[in-house]
Amino acid sequence: MLRLIVILILDYLEVCGTRLINHFFNQHEWPQPKIIGGYSTPYGAYPWQVELQANIGGWEHHCGGALVSETIALTAAHCLKNLKKSQLRILVGKHNLSKNDKHEKTYKIQKILVHPDFRKDGPHSHDIAVLKLHSANSKGVRFDSHVQPICLPEYHTNINEANWCTVTGWGAQKQDDMTSLSKVLQAASVHLIDLETCRHDDIYGGRHQFILDSMLCAGNLEGGVDACGGDSGGPLACQINGKFVLTGVVSWGDGCGKKNRPGVYTRVSYYADWLKQSIFELET
Ligand code: ARG
């Protein structure tokens, strides 16, 4: 009964970045080799996680993404290259890729907006895109106990206040080997690494892609905890003032979980204005 009331209130207030199913990392459980150094999640603990599937001779897992409203999801721009919107679809309420989940629903894509500067400042630059879901009733996704939106940061949101951040996805253990995807959604706890450190010569300094202010590095410099192939587009969620905020979008990295090669994410706060404008355009 109480649970029902909470669901109704959440539905009414449309609070972003909250969840009914908690997930505390169990340090006694062995980390999974998928999403490098992560843990299996309880169903519903990351209710904003979406799965982006592509039809390449049959629907298959392609990327992650994050739900930010009833009709809008964010992902990485590189997830959309060479694909038409008819070859893509979005699943919400997904947990186990090898079965039908109770709260899962599939949506076609009505519109894609790739950032206009994608790849203009290097091969991984401005790696962000907005997707509008197509739904028959045009109301879009119905939020429930297992499907909720995540909050978007403001341009000035100080992510250093975040005590911990979590990256989630079904990504593969071996990069680009989609046959080694994780069945159950994985989550890994990662530290934010400041830009100055990330630009060091022994990290990502002097490479084909300069670490731009619009990027964010996160992981573990000793290696072992990271996102990997198939996690792209998925959320790096940080808890700020009790709410989960979409702080990063999984974008790139040199291999996965290697020493001195943290994951590089699109810094969502950098795009706050572009996102507000694009989402407004798409929703109206
Ligand atoms: N590019 C990969 C993808 O398309 C994800 C890269 C993230 N890599 C990392 N080491 N954090 O799924």
Q: What is the mean pLDDT of residues 184-203?
A: 95
The Å distance, Cα 237 to ligand 1 centre, comes to 16
Q: What is the pLDDT of residue 79?
A: 97
Residue 8, CB half-sphere, CA atoms under 13 Å: how many? 5
Least confident among 95-104, 148-157, 179-188: 179-188
Work out the pLDDT band at 24, boundaries 50, 70, 90: confident
Say how many Å lie between the CA of residue 13 and the centre of ligand 1. Answer: 34
Mean pLDDT of the chain: 91
Closest CA to 171 of 269, 5, 270, 49: 49
The answer to whether residue 8 scores a pLDDT higher than 60 is no
For the question of residue 232 being annotated catalytic, the response is yes
- Per the model's pLDDT, the better-predicted residue between 33 and 231 turns out to be 231
The span from the CA of 155 to the CA of 148, in Å, is 22
Nearest to 149 by CA among 93, 41, 70: 70
- Give the pair of three-digit tokens for residue 62: 């392609």
Q: Which phi and psi (to 5°) does residue 275 adopt?
A: -65, -45
How far is the centre of ligand 1, averaged over its atoms, from the C-alpha of 204 (Å)? 15
Q: Give the model's pLDDT for residue 92.
A: 98
Q: Which residue has the higher pLDDT, 205 or 174?
A: 205
Q: Is 197 helix (H, G, I), strand (E, B) or coil?
A: helix
CA distances from 234 to 7, 13, 27, 184 (A): 25, 25, 23, 15
Position 156 scores a pLDDT of 86
pLDDT at residue 177 is higher than 70: no
Residue nearest to atom 11 of ligand 1 (CA): 263
Give pLDDT, residue 135.
80
**48 CA to centre of ligand 1 in angstroms:** 19
pLDDT at 38: 87
- For position 284, what pLDDT does the model report? 82
**pLDDT over 60 (residue 31):** yes
**Could you tell which of 118, 173, 220, 231 is best to mutate to test the pocket of ligand 1, judged by most ligand atoms within 8 Å of the CB?**
231
Q: How confident is the model at residue 188 (pLDDT cuts 50, 70, 90)?
A: very high
Catalytic residue among 40, 62, 69, 78: 78
Q: Which domains does the chain have, with CATH numbers?
A: 47-149+271-283 (2.40.10.10)
Alpha-carbon separation of residue 174 from 6, 77, 177, 204, 237 (angstroms): 40, 22, 5, 21, 23
pTM, rounded to two decimals: 0.93
Give the pLDDT band of residue 137 (cuts 50, 70, 90). Answer: confident
Q: Which atom of ligand 1 is nearest to the CA of 226?
A: 11
**Cα 26 to ligand 1 centroid, rounded to whole Å:** 25
Is 177 annotated as catalytic?
no
To test the ligand 1 pocket, which listed residue (175, 261, 265) has its Cβ within 8 A of the most ligand atoms? 175
Catalytic residue selected from 127, 144, 226, 231: 127
Mean pLDDT of the region 262-267: 97
Helix (H) or strand (E) holding 166: strand 165-169
d(CA 249, CA 96): 21
- What is the atom index within ligand 1 of the atom nearest the CA of 258? 10
Question: Stretch 139-143: mean pLDDT, rounded?
Answer: 92
Mutate to test the pocket of ligand 1, among 250, 256, 259, 261 (most ligand atoms within 8 A of CB): 250
C-alpha 203/C-alpha 223 separation (Å) is 12
The per-residue pLDDT for 109 is: 97
Using CB distances shorter than 6 Å, the residues near ligand 1 are 226-232, 250, 252-253, 256, 263
Decide if pLDDT at 152 tops 80: yes
